[in-house]
Structure 1
């Protein structure tokens, strides 16, 4: 019989989470805040009104972000603390205990906040901000593009590489590892996205191996399936005296004409 080593007793850390909430509020949300809007955008990766809209939506519709009292009458961490913890982990890619000393919440709560934050954003915002445009959306996109001097433009398309830190292909063949490796032999996955000027995402395709360039990604992308299947909306505009009936996306120089 194997003797099991007894687990060390759990240490209770009095974090004073109320102080963490008050510090966060005074730093970024008071009037006036300690840190100006440009520093808020740098650290939260979005503007304050966007962040507050996410916080209020999650607090109203997701039980995890609602503040409850325990049996002693003490309130738990606020929605601001939980959402800030999730965004800091996403923005900086740090460990879950990296926000403990500022926000005064435990590593386990920060990890749960990140999971519920991502699930909540997908559940409550993807129908508006991550979907294919309908006829009304397309008409608005074309009007916006024409007003800016780009008649027929439906949005901008580009790709970004995401580092795959724990890529399991390192254990497989060298050829498979090279397929996902890009710079300095670091495995990456590619995200292709189409976005409009107001930052709505009309198309996203993720998972292409990092060895591919933007043209290879476009060849594998479902972006033009509607055109191939004759389901694309009709777009009529004139440029330099030529009539066109298909929209286009703004790209960088690697794409073909």
Structure 2
């Protein structure tokens, strides 16, 4: 599940047949959905989005902000020896996965995705992520709002400077000149700490074996 491998690639390494591997994966996935689906494995509804908008505007002053998005390396302690070359890099040293998360101000994780083999930063994880799929496929919920007289159809995420210049991502100024730019930079970076707190909670409780 973590690497996106097909079932028959496990034949030699795990000494399991393709059928056994496929059935085991199905059983595991079904159990995860049945146990955690109603609470954790669901996308925000229109009502949820409206509540997120209100909470983030009240807390951070950003109207119609969905949440903060960022990535963090996660060490893979028991990474199989045969895979270490794919998951180790000069950036992280030891084998690791890169976790992409969208989190709200109350630590609700709206989206989580582990990058595939070879991905080691926010951008190449985003290239594999499903975070923009609904937007690209025209399935994103309409939540109209107006800022400074301009009308917008969808909410947005706060990000750091490495992300692409997409309208979905709102970044801080690299080199603020005016006082209002400095003010925006402070507020944007302060709001982005929501996802950093989510990473801290996750790493304090769990680790990848």
Q: TM-score under structure 1 normalisation?
A: 0.46
Give runs of ≥4 in structure 1 deviating > 3 Å: 120-126
Question: Aligned residue for 1:136?
Answer: 47
Question: Aligned residue for 2:79?
Answer: 167
Bigger Cα Rg = 1
8 Å Cα contact 1:141-1:196 kept in structure 2: yes
Question: Aligned residue for 1:152?
Answer: 64
* Structure possessing the higher relative contact order (Cα contacts under 8 Å, 6 or more residues apart): 2
Which secondary structure state, in structure 2, belongs to the residue aligned with residue 147 of structure 1?
A: helix
Residues matched between the structures, number: 134
Which secondary structure state, in structure 2, belongs to the residue aligned with residue 209 of structure 1?
A: coil
Bigger fraction of residues in helix? 1
Provide closer, same or farther for how the CA distance between residues 231 and 122 of structure 1 changes in structure 2, counting only shifts above 3 A. closer
Unaligned runs of 5+ in 1: 1-119
2:130 to 214, 222, 226: 222
Question: Aligned residue for 1:234?
Answer: 142
Unaligned runs of 5+ in 2: 1-30, 166-209
Say whether residues 1:245 and 2:157 are aligned partners: no
Which secondary structure state, in structure 1, belongs to the residue aligned with residue 54 of structure 2?
A: helix
Q: CA deviation at 1:129?
A: 3.8
